[in-house]
């Protein structure tokens, strides 16, 4: 300060002076320092599964999220993914919260679903998101909570915290969107379904709506940074509930079979898919047991049929 | 939802005696509305019952009906892998207006097909049982069946409209004990199992009429769609007093003996035509219960409709999909199933009414079974008024013999050229000659029924059969015989006169004209329909 005065710098404004005085205040007016001989307590974790998302379910955040979903997100999804949405009529007789369980290929899956799931669920929705990925830093956690209504789900360690939070929110009337595979597909084929959705359905008594997504992997598959527009389809299945005596593992397997049957329906036709489903012959989501190129090769057989959005050749 | 008393505790129908404090009453008037003040102390208004609660889990109710049919085996037991299965379903004429997705037919057919898939049935055809009605378009089929069913079967040509004029597509099943011919769609007749998916909006539908009429052709239908039968049906909404139904039931006996095994699935819906919320909900409320919001909505809607071009008005009304709810579903033996269906139908529609009236009034809405996505031409105005609304009774007609019927409708001289080509000629040529049902039946019916051009349009375009306008006229034959005069308020003068009726500019004028026939100070009854009601007149 003396030096500043000597070289003729102007005097600091009053605010700076106030901060200096505040810092000079003694304990208890300021935080205590830690004695050198003790080990300080670990700071309270504010990321990962410990991130508190309660603020993102209050009215201002919900309104902001609704505006984002119905505005830029819907615009981006229709521009990038041109979704063909089927089967929403299967939800006609359903009311109250539900768990939407979908296969997972891309980061685009969540925006696609948030703009496809019909009302009254769309704007009272929480999304199960990987705690280690989406909630890794304060910034990503805040953005995930605000934009998609994410709640952290532990996928790398066993803990009840995520499940308890999800169950509590479902009990409060929120619907949950979850990807039971636990992560995006690494090679275009699905991964075995984990038991989270089934466990929550058993615990809360709400139905699970299986959903099959097709085409998002072509737009933004795992490992790619920039999207490339393509067409997609979203097929909603009939809501299902655990049967008497059906445990979470078996119910998870049934959810996977339902999604596989929807995948079959999307790539062939509904009746043929039902015939195969009843005969337990629906093609699996996880693809052939072979490794390497044969899995990639087999992917090519799953061509999409039905009404194509663009005709590249005159229909003679 | 449950807290809304209209949903949890719907009120039954009501007969209101009009007094000086009764507000003006709503008359449907085509694609518009009128509010009319009825004379106090001698008028009464019959209001429909509020919508009965829908089944809480329609899909589960359908499943239970298929698994526990009435006097038949559970559906899965009737399905075998190598069988020939045909599913016939009611056409675009039901329900009115079209219902919101998913349509009941879709809900049922998906469950039936799911059971067929479990049994591994490959040979399945789905047929729109439209008799002599126009063919359904792809959009209409998709609406009724859903995209899943349509996309699975239409590419193989396994979903189609019944064609009553296909020489190779019809078979004769025999004669009834009254020598009535029985014909049926060949695919349906030759199937191992015929599943009929019905949707009952009024008590006239269903039973043997579904297959004996819906899958039949002119040679079979003419035995009950004729003037003599209709004049003996009092009314054709009361199956047990309807000659139309007696004839269909006789044809049913022949189908039972010589036709396919039939598994009948019948459903009823409630009266929730215009919804509990939204702009149209006011049409479902009793006038003295209209809130400020209802009144503002009605005024806005009426003023808007008054200035809208006709095409825009039609688009608005045709775009309305009713939020009907399923109130019952039963399956199994045709006759036993139908008796249960009728009970549910009457539970929603019947309103007890004491005594007949001198003058019956009602407003005709924009839609009838034969102008879905189309134009309500003058012949259909006659059919809806004198055929359907007049016959919405059980016991005795609401209006006494020799009484006057006053209906409200613009009755424009306008026809849909694609849907109703034979109607145009019927109106121009036949009605210009005579309006007597017996005379026009004898003189012109055969010519129209066998006209090659009309048959071509019926088979390949989207036209009603050449004979259809005759049936529309026969539909009103009983009322024509019964009534002393028919007056249309606000109708097109030339069109109304061509129909053989009288036109009035206002309700007051119409009531004065009516007093020429029924005397001064006649008793008046107004049928507040739709939502649908049926008077149980004692």
pLDDT digits (tens, 9 = 90+) for B157-169: 999 999 999 999 9
Tell the burial category of A289 from Cβ atoms under 10 Å away from its Cβ (0-12, 13-18, 19+).
exposed
Q: What letter would DSSP give residue B465?
A: P
| Nearest residue to B345 (alpha-carbon basis) of B275, B282, B394, B396 | B394
Residue A296: CB atoms within 10 A of its CB come to: 13
Number of H helices, E strands in chain A: 13, 7
Look up residue B156 and give its two tokens.
């193989």
- B58 chain-A contacts, CB cut-off 8 A: 93
Residue A306 predicted with pLDDT over 50: no
Angstrom distances, CA of residue B114 to CA of A259, A277, B110, B465, B538? 17, 10, 6, 35, 47
Q: Which residues of B touch A119 (CB under 8 A)?
A: none
Judge whether B58 is closer than 8 Å to chain A, CB to CB: yes
Q: Does A301 score more than 80 pLDDT?
A: no
Q: Residues 6 or more apart from B319 whose CB is under 8 A from it? A: none
pLDDT digits 0-9 by tens, A21-42? 777 777 667 666 666 777 776 6
What are the chain B neighbours of A95 within 8 Å (beta carbons)?
1
Q: Across the interface, do A270 and B149 touch by the CB < 8 Å criterion?
A: yes
**B382-386 average pLDDT score:** 97
CA angle B151–B157–B163, rounded 5-degree value: 120
Q: How far is A96 from chain B (nearest CA, A)?
A: 12
Q: Which residues of B423-438 are buried (b: 16+ CB within 10 A; e: fewer)?
A: bebbbeebbeeebebe
Provide the pLDDT confidence category of residue A18 given band limits of 50, 70 and 90: confident
Q: What ipTM score was computed for the predicted complex, to two decimals?
A: 0.74
Task: Tell me if A86 and B147 make a contact (CB, 8 A cut-off).
Answer: yes
| B246 has pLDDT over 70 | yes
DSSP secondary structure letter of residue B536: E
- Of the pLDDT bands very low, low, confident and very high (cuts 50, 70, 90), residue A300 is low
CA distance A315 to chain B (A): 14
Residues of B in contact with A238 (CB under 8 A): 59
Half-sphere exposure of B154 (CA within 13 A, CB side): 16
Of A86, A271, A279, which has the smallest distance from its Cβ to B113's Cβ? A271
Inter-chain residue contact A269 with B102, CB threshold 8 Å: no
Q: Rounded to whole angstroms, how far apart are CA atoms B525 and B286?
A: 16
Contact between B149 and A93 using a beta-carbon 8 Å cutoff: no
Q: Is B186 exposed, middle or buried (0-12, 13-18, 19+ CB in 10 A)?
A: middle
Is residue B335 within 8 Å of B251, Cβ to Cβ?
no
Q: Across B386-494, where does the E strand assignment appear?
A: 393-395, 399-408, 485-489
Look up residue B409 and give its DSSP letter.
-
- Give the mean pLDDT of B134-150: 94
pLDDT at position A79 is: 94
The Cα–Cα gap between A122 and B320 comes to: 24
Task: Compute the distance between CA of residue A259 and CA of residue B423 in angstroms, rounded to an integer.
Answer: 51
* pLDDT score of A1 more than 70: no
B120 has pLDDT over 60: yes
Q: DSSP assignment, residue B200?
A: B
CA A242 to chain centre: 23
| Each residue's pLDDT tens digit, A120-148 | 999 999 999 988 888 888 899 999 999 99
Q: What is the DSSP string of A34-51?
A: PPTTSPPPPPPP-SGGG-
B259: closest CA among B337, B193, B205, B335?
B193
Instruction: Read off φ and ψ for residue B488, nearest 5 degrees.
Output: -110, 120
Q: Kindly list the distances between the CA atom of residue B63 and the CA atoms of B115, B197, B265, B406, in Å, as whole numbers in the listed order.
A: 10, 14, 11, 46
Say whether pLDDT at A15 is over 80: no
Please check the confidence at residue A6 and state whether its pLDDT lies above 70.
Answer: no
pLDDT, one tens digit per residue, over B495-513 is: 999 999 999 999 999 999 9
Mean pLDDT of A272-283: 92
Residue B124 to residue A271, Cβ atoms within 8 A: yes
Residue of A nearest to B55 (CA): A93
User: What is the C-alpha separation between B441 and B434, in angstroms, rounded?
Assistant: 10
Q: Quick check: A44 pLDDT over 70?
A: no
B120–A95 CB contact, under 8 Å: no
Cβ within 8 Å, pair B120-A270: no
**What DSSP character marks residue B239?**
G
Residue B120, token pair as written in the block: 């591994």
Nearest CA in chain A to B60: A93
The strand pairing partners of B358, in sequence order, are: none
Q: Which of A183, A14, A218 is nearest to A102 (CA)?
A: A183
Residue whose entry in the numeric block shows the structure tokens 């008393």:
B5
Residue B164 to residue A50: CA distance in whole angstroms: 70
Residues of A in contact with B114 (CB under 8 A): 274, 278
Q: What is the structure's pLDDT at A17?
A: 76
Contact B113 A93 (CB under 8 A): no
Please write down the long-range contacts of A50-58, taking CB distance under 8 Å and 24 or more positions apart: A50/A152, A51/A131, A51/A135, A51/A138, A51/A141, A51/A145, A51/A152, A53/A141, A53/A145, A53/A150, A53/A151, A53/A152, A55/A145, A56/A145, A56/A146, A56/A149, A56/A150, A57/A126, A57/A149, A57/A169, A57/A174
The pLDDT of B22-29, averaged and rounded, is 94
Give B458 to chain A, closest Cα distance, Å: 26
Structure tokens at B37: 């003040």
Residue B25: both structure tokens together: 């009453």
Note the pLDDT of residue A154: 83
On the 0-12 / 13-18 / 19+ scale of CB atoms within 10 A, B538 is exposed
Q: Which of B108, B191, B91 is nearest to B149 (CA)?
A: B108
Cβ <8 Å between B114 and A279: no
- Say whether pLDDT at A309 is over 50: no
- Which residues pair with residue A175 across a beta bridge? A125
Chain B residues touching A281 at Cβ < 8 A: none
Q: Span A210-239, mean pLDDT?
A: 91
Q: Please state, rounded to an integer, the average pLDDT across all residues of chain A.
A: 85
Residue A157's pLDDT is: 67
Indicate the residue of B101, B120, B148 with minimum beta-carbon distance to A275. B120
CB contact under 8 A, A307 and B151: yes
- Nearest CB partner across the interface for B59, out of A93, A277, A306: A93
List the single residue in B59, B118, B151 with the smallest CB-CB distance to A269: B151
Cα–Cα distance list, B206 to B72, B146, B200, B212, B474 (Å): 18, 22, 6, 10, 20
Predicted confidence (pLDDT) at residue A235 exceeds the cutoff of 80? yes
Give strand pairing partners of B362: B407
Direct distance between the N- and C-terminal alpha carbons of chain B, in angstroms, rounded to an integer: 37
Cα B70 to chain centroid distance, Å, stands at: 26
Sheet holding B534-537, edge to edge: B350-353, B534-537, B393-395
Query: Is it the case that residue A262 has pLDDT exceeding 90?
Result: yes
Contact status of B101 with chain A (Cβ, < 8 Å): yes
Per-residue confidence (pLDDT) for residue B323, from 0 to 100: 95
Mean model confidence pLDDT for chain B: 95
Q: Which residues of A touch B57 (CB under 8 A)?
A: 93
Average pLDDT score over residue span B305-312: 93
pLDDT confidence of A310, banded at 50, 70, 90?
very low
Asked whether the beta carbons of residue A274 and residue B1 sit closer than 8 angstroms, the reply is no
Does B323 reach chain A within 8 Å, measured CB to CB?
Answer: no
Q: In the numeric block, which tokens belong to residue A51?
A: 């991130």
Contact B282, B294 (CB under 8 A): yes
Confidence category of residue A117, pLDDT binned at 50, 70, 90? very high
pLDDT (average), residues A76-95: 92
Alpha-carbon gap: B155 to the closest alpha carbon of chain A (Å)? 10
The answer on pLDDT for A78 being more than 70 is yes
Residues of B with Cβ-Cβ distance to A278 under 8 angstroms: 114, 117-118, 120
Sign, CA dihedral B433-B439-B445-B446, equals negative
Q: Which two tokens stand for residue B300?
A: 């806005």
Interatomic CA distance for residues B339 and B352, integer angstroms: 20
User: Which tops the pLDDT comparison, B519 or A161?
Assistant: B519
3-state helix, strand, coil in chain A (%, to 5): 40, 10, 45
Contacts of B77 (CB under 8 A, 6+ apart): none
- CB of B181 closer than 8 Å to CB of B248: no
CB neighbours (10 Å) of residue B290?
A: 16
Count how many pairs of residues, chain A against chain B, have C-beta atoms within 8 Å.
Answer: 45
> Is the CA virtual torsion B129, B133, B139, B144 positive or negative?
negative
Query: How high is the pLDDT of residue A287?
Result: 82
User: Testing the interface with A: which of B58, B82, B114 to mutate, by most A Cβ within 10 A?
Assistant: B114
């Amino acid at each position: 300060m003396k030096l500043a005065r000597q070289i003729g710098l102007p005097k600091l404004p009053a605010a700076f002076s106030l901060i200096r005085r505040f810092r000079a205040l003694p304990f208890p007016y300021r935080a205590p320092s830690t004695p050198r001989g003790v080990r300080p307590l670990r700071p309270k974790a504010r990321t990962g599964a410990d991130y508190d998302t309660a603020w993102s379910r209050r009215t201002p955040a919900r309104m902001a999220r609704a505006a984002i979903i119905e505005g830029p997100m819907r615009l981006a999804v229709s521009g990038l993914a041109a979704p063909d949405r089927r089967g929403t009529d299967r939800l006609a007789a359903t009311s109250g919260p539900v768990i939407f369980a979908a296969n997972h290929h891309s980061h685009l899956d969540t925006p696609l679903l948030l703009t496809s799931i019909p009302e009254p669920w769309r704007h009272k929705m929480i999304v199960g998101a990987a705690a280690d990925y989406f909630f890794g830093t304060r910034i990503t956690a805040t953005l995930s909570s605000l934009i998609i209504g994410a709640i952290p789900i532990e996928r790398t360690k066993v803990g009840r915290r995520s499940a308890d939070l999800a169950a509590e929110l479902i009990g409060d009337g929120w619907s949950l969107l979850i990807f039971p595979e636990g992560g995006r597909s690494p090679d275009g084929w699905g991964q075995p379904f984990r038991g989270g959705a089934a466990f929550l359905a058993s615990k809360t008594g709400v139905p699970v709506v299986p959903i099959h997504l097709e085409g998002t992997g072509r737009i933004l598959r795992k490992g790619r940074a920039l999207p490339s527009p393509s067409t997609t389809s979203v097929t909603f299945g009939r809501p299902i509930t655990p049967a008497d005596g059906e445990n979470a593992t078996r119910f998870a397997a049934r959810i996977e079979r339902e999604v596989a049957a929807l995948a079959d329906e999307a790539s062939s036709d509904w009746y043929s898919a039902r015939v195969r489903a009843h005969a337990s012959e629906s093609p699996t989501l996880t693809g052939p047991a072979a490794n390497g190129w044969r899995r990639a090769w087999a992917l090519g057989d799953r061509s999409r049929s039905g009404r194509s959005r663009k005709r590249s050749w005159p229909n003679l | 939802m449950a807290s809304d008393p209209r949903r949890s505790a719907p009120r039954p129908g009501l007969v209101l005696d009009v007094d000086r404090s009764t507000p003006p009453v709503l008359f449907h008037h085509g694609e518009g509305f009128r509010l009319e003040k009825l004379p106090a102390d001698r008028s009464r208004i019959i209001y429909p019952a509020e919508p009965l609660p829908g089944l809480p889990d329609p899909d589960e109710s359908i499943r239970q009906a298929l698994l526990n049919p009435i006097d038949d085996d559970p559906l899965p037991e009737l399905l075998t892998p190598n069988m020939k299965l045909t599913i016939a379903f009611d056409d675009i004429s039901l329900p009115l207006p079209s219902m919101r997705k998913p349509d009941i037919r879709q809900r049922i057919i998906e469950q039936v097909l799911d059971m067929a898939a479990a049994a591994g049935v490959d040979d399945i055809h789905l047929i729109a049982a439209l008799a002599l009605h126009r063919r359904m378009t792809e959009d209409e089929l998709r609406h009724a069946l859903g995209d899943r069913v349509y996309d699975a079967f239409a590419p193989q040509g396994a979903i189609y409209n019944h064609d009553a004029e296909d020489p190779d597509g019809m078979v004769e099943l025999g004669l009834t004990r009254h020598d009535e011919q029985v014909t049926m769609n060949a695919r349906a007749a030759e199937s191992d199992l015929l599943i009929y998916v019905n949707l009952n909006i009024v008590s006239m539908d269903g039973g043997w009429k579904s297959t004996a009429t819906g899958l039949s052709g002119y040679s079979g239908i003419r035995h009950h769609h004729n003037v003599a039968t209709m004049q003996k049906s009092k009314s054709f909404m009361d199956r047990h007093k309807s000659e139309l139904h007696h004839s269909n039931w006789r044809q049913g006996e022949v189908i039972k003996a010589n036709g396919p095994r039939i598994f009948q699935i019948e459903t009823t819906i409630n009266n929730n035509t215009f919804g509990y919320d939204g702009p149209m909900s006011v049409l479902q409320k009793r006038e003295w219960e209209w809130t400020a919001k209802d009144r503002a909505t009605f005024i806005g809607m009426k003023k808007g409709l008054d200035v809208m071009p006709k095409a825009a008005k039609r688009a608005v009304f045709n775009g309305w999909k009713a939020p009907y709810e399923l109130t019952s579903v039963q399956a199994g033996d045709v006759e036993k199933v139908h008796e249960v269906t009728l009970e549910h139908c009457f539970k929603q529609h019947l309103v007890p009414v004491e005594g007949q009236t001198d003058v019956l009034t009602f407003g005709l809405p924009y839609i009838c079974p034969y102008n879905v996505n189309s134009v309500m031409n003058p012949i259909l105005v006659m059919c809806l008024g004198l055929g359907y609304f007049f016959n919405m009774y059980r016991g005795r007609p609401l209006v006494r013999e020799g009484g006057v019927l006053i209906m409200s409708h613009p009755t424009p001289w306008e026809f849909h050229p694609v849907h109703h080509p034979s109607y145009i000629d019927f109106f121009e040529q036949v009605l210009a000659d005579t309006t007597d049902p017996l005379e026009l039946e004898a003189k012109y019916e055969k010519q129209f029924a066998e006209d090659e051009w009309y048959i071509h349009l019926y088979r390949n375009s989207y036209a009603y059969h050449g004979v259809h306008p005759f049936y529309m006229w026969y539909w009103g034959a009983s009322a024509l015989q019964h009534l002393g005069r028919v007056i249309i308020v606000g109708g097109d003068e030339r069109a109304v006169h061509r129909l053989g009726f009288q036109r009035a500019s206002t309700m007051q004028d119409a009531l004065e004209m009516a007093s020429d026939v029924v005397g001064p100070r006649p008793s008046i009854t107004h049928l507040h329909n739709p939502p649908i009601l049926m008077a149980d007149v004692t």
